[in-house]
Copies of this chain bind each other. A is one copy, B any other.
Amino acid sequence: MISIVLIGSGNVATHLYNAFLNVDAISVTQIGARVLDKVPDADITIIAVSDDAIATVSSKVKNSFVVHTSGSVGMHNLQNNTRKGVFYMLQTFSKDKKVAFSKVPFCLEAENAKDYALLETIAKSIGKKIYSVSSEQRKTLHVAAVFVNNFTNHLYKIGNDICEKNKVPFDILKPLIQETALKVNQLSPEKAQTGPAIRKDQKTIKNHLNLLDTDQQKIYKILTKSIQNGN
């Protein structure tokens, strides 16, 4: 039996807690970050709090093995005096949406092989995709995730804005959004590129710019240039 203490009350902590509850070989306790004077002993203590709170929370935990769940905080930012590690899941977690853990990539890091093996056992108990990722690699993954998640979602928003302004249903674009995302499973994004930028179709580019507002034009121009430069 592996004992886990989960510190935190946000989406990540709650989804993880519910997943661990279904694993026979794991006993799990979830506590809020404000009751740190009463942390029960455990094989592993998982701190799932906001990035800014990780140092403070971890400094108060006396348990032997402490990990955090952040994409952008280094393992050594943990301030416990015992063993450290990272249990990062690269996926967006929404409050009301069930998480398909079998599809979630687990990015694991520990100071020694035995601790890494424990993290791997725990990850495999709820998931399938396990990766060994160093703190440096994780930080760059987190930036890359901002591009393919936050920034991509913002481009969807601009698409939505353009549709609303011109009274066409955004629904028309949704199959294209899905198809574009599915394509990366078959083709590298570089090879999948189509459209006026890569074709250097200046006439269409000029027509497009005339239909956009100033902020949209700036984004259109910089991304078109980046595509054309092969950046």
Give chain A's interface residues, CB within 8 Å of chain B: 51-52, 72, 90-92, 94, 97, 103-105, 107, 129, 131, 133, 136-137, 139-160, 162-163, 165-169, 171-186, 188-190, 192-198, 201, 203-204, 207-208, 211-212, 215-216, 218-220, 222-223, 226-227, 229, 231
Contact = CB atoms under 8 A, between A and B. Distances in A.
Nearest to A193: B153
Contacts of A105: 171-172, 175
A226 B154 contact: yes
A215 B207 contact: no
B155 A152 contact: yes
A104 B176 CA distance: 8
Contact of A153 (B97, B151, B165, B180): B180
A185 B177 CA distance: 10
Contacts of A153: 180, 183, 189, 192-194
A144 B159 contact: yes
Contacts of A201: 51
Contacts of A163: 140-141, 144
Nearest to A205: B146
